[in-house]
Amino acid sequence: MKVAVLMGSASDAAKMAPARETLESFGITVDERVLSAHRHPDAVAELARGARDAGYVALICGAGMAAALPGVCAAHTTLPVVGVPLSGGALNGVDALYATVQMPRGVPVATVAIDGALNAALLVVEMLAISDAALAAALDDDRRRRAGG
């Protein structure tokens, strides 16, 4: 299993680190890349179009302000795309939240809270655990641990 963790700028790395760390803690391979939907549109489209054939099972995309990255990825793949709106800019992430959650009909992007990279990773793990009993058990253990019991 391999998940792409994408971000629009290298400055987003600290906010997206919980996605990589969480996925790796479940034994999921992470391919972390900086790809801007505005600066590298062809590379983003190419990655998304070829993601399934390249062995990816999902894409997690963190982006701020216009937050185009998750939507562009979703437009080019039928794999699950989870958008992480990132704080920053004049509206401190609210603009990114609206941009990520307001996708057109037929091009879904699962959206988590502003700076919610950890939840994005857990959502992907939950999707994968639907058909993987060992991963489901590990997820149950993780949930208990996070709840303090």
Rounded-to-integer distance, Cα 113 and Cα 137, Å: 25
Whether the model pTM is above 0.85: yes
Distance CA 16, CA 115 (A): 8
Contact between 70 and 81 under an 8 Å Cβ cutoff? The reply is yes
CA neighbor of 136 nearest in space, from 144, 110, 42, 35:
144
Q: What is the pLDDT of residues 126-135, one digit of tens each?
A: 999 999 999 9
Task: Provide the pLDDT for residue 81.
Answer: 98
At 123, is the pLDDT very low, low, confident or very high (cuts 50, 70, 90)? very high
Strand partners, 34: 7
Does position 107 have pLDDT exceeding 80, yes or no?
yes
Protein fold of 2-147: Rossmann fold (3.40.50)
What residues contact 46, with CB distance under 8 A and at least 6 apart?
A: none
The enclosing H or E element of 110 equals strand 110-111
